[in-house]
């Protein structure tokens, strides 16, 4: 695998060429990708993590957009780091670059808002994406061997109401879109789970049985060093955080 360079750029700093490449990558992984939806996701976000071959101006092989949201929860001060459009070419998924940039963003949020609870919010329409959570956190929700706490559920519901008020189902914890949306390519390596799925994958398939139609599972993890899983700790050490 080629050497991978990761960087975070503010959305206004993206060039037209970079935007076009990102849309092309997203279209490879998902059906129903519309340029207007891509632009909307991009323009509402604060920044994007980019994966490039070799150097800072190399070919883009993956990206993830993210933003910081205020969540209205009674008697709590909560901000959410929310990942939007995300895709990485299969050959480069083991690089850890997206994790490096997201970890950096986590720590910046904690430092800037010390009086807030900081949560990571991931919406997942694929079992592979869901498995990012145990890479980042010891505890998160929903999780196969842990009952979702009321505090975590409140974060999930507040996020759903703020971002997807018409499509979020709080009883199921799912965003069930009323119109056609992005969905995994049937038969792709991301769409087809292994014949004997591990506990994380099996749990995701149970919680989100209609994932192939683009249904998203709302997931949260508390951004706190004590809750960071070993893989994320290792990534943060590489950037001296």
Domain CATH for 217: 3.40.630.30
pLDDT at 240 over 80: no
What is the pLDDT of the chain when averaged over all its residues?
Answer: 94
CA atoms within 13 A on the CB side of 9: 18
- Which among 111, 100, 83, 103 has a CA at the least distance from the CA of 220? 83
Q: Is 240 exposed, middle or buried (0-12, 13-18, 19+ CB in 10 A)?
A: exposed
Asked whether the predicted pLDDT for residue 1 surpasses 60, the reply is no
Instruction: Supply the pLDDT for residue 93.
Output: 85
Containing structural domain, residue 60: 4-238
Report pLDDT digits (tens) over 75-133. Answer: 999 999 999 999 999 888 888 889 999 999 999 999 999 999 999 999 999 999 999 99
Residue 164 CB: number of other CB atoms within 10 A? 17
Domain count, the chain: 1
Q: Write down the pTM of the prediction.
A: 0.94
């Amino acid at each position: 695998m080629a050497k991978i360079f990761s960087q975070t750029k503010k959305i206004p700093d993206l060039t037209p060429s970079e935007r076009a490449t990102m849309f092309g990558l997203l279209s490879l992984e998902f059906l129903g990708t519309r340029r207007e939806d891509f632009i909307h996701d991009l323009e509402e976000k604060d920044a994007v993590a980019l994966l490039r071959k070799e150097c800072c101006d190399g070919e883009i092989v993956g990206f993830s957009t993210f933003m910081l949201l205020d969540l209205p929860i009674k008697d709590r001060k909560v901000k959410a780091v929310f990942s939007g459009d995300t895709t990485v070419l299969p050959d480069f998924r083991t690089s850890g670059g997206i994790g490096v940039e997201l970890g950096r963003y986590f720590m910046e949020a904690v430092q800037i808002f010390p009086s807030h609870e900081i949560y990571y919010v991931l919406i997942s329409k694929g079992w592979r994406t869901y498995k990012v959570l145990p890479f980042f956190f010891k505890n998160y929700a929903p999780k196969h061997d842990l009952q979702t706490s009321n505090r975590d559920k409140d974060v999930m519901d507040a996020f759903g109401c703020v971002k997807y008020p018409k499509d979020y189902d709080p009883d199921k914890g799912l965003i069930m879109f009323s119109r056609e949306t992005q969905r995994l390519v049937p038969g792709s390596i991301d769409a087809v789970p292994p014949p004997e799925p591990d506990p994380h994958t099996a749990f995701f398939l149970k919680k989100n049985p209609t994932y192939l139609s683009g249904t998203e599972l709302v997931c949260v993890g508390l951004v706190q060093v004590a809750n960071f899983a070993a893989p994320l700790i290792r990534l943060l050490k590489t950037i001296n955080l």
